[in-house]
Structure 1
Amino acid sequence: MLTLLIKSQPYKKMTRMIKDNQQQYFETEEWIELYDTVISTNTNQFKLEHVHDMSYKPLSDRYGFLYLHTNQGVFSYNVAVSPSDFIEAFKQLKE
């Protein structure tokens, strides 16, 4: 059950499709949402106690990766907007 939304962060999801023997890429924008008890995306939901850390690595002027370090492994999200506020809100909740 989702409760109080604290912060949200847009990320880009890349989908690869082969049509008529040609490879095509599609980019869609989705959101990762920080609640007071969980972190939620369109495909995953993590209890806050199972997320150990968050980090960010910029790749270029345009994109970087937001990493969620969880008890299920590391999940990466392609972000175009700096997630520094999102990471800070997460760290404050974990204190």
Structure 2
Amino acid sequence: MQFIAKQPYVKVVRQVSVLEQKDTEEQRYMYLYEDKIVTRYREFSIEDVMDISYRLTGKKEKGMLYLHTLKGVYAYIIKSSPEQFIDAFKARTHSTIHRN
């Protein structure tokens, strides 16, 4: 199955040893499919996602992308605008609503 849209996000991984603590950033992707949204470790049915929103931080370089689902809100760190991803989601969910 081909994805409709892709949004990069960052996961900060903390590694702690006896001598130091090291934070590294992993580049990951969120994929929008016709019937679901998939991240590296989670899968959300389109029917379970009520909305997607985002907020940029003061420097406008980073921000947070929020998936508002029936099971809670999931936050993802972003470094690029998610507007194209959100527009694709809204177009998909609106077309689903109008089809029924």
- The question of a shared fold, defined as TM-score above 0.5 by the shorter chain, is answered with yes
TM-score between the two structures when normalised by the length of structure 2: 0.89
Amino acid at match of 1:19: S
Larger CA deviation: 14-23 vs 79-88: 14-23
* Structure 1 residue 62: Cα displacement: 1.5
Task: Find the residue that maps to 2:13 and give its secondary structure.
Answer: strand
Structure 1 residue ranges (4+ consecutive) displaced by more than 6 angstroms after TM superposition: none
Unaligned runs of 5+ residues in structure 1 are none
Q: Residue 29 of structure 1 corresponds to which residue in structure 2?
A: 27
Q: Residue 9 of structure 1 corresponds to which residue in structure 2?
A: 7
TM-score between the two structures when normalised by the length of structure 1: 0.93
Amino acid at match of 2:33: Y
Identity %: 37
Which structure has greater strand proportion?
A: 1
Alignment of 1:36-75 (within 5 A): 36-59=34-57, 60-75=59-74
Q: Tell me how far apart the structure 2 counterparts of residues 22 and 77 of structure 1 sit (CA, whole Å).
A: 26
Larger CA deviation: 4-13 vs 19-28: 19-28
Greater C-alpha radius of gyration: 2
Whether 2:72 is the aligned partner of 1:83: answer no
Q: Residue 98 of structure 2 corresponds to which residue in structure 1?
A: none
Amino acid at match of 1:76: A
Aligned pairs, number: 93
Task: Find the residue that maps to 1:5 and give its secondary structure.
Answer: coil
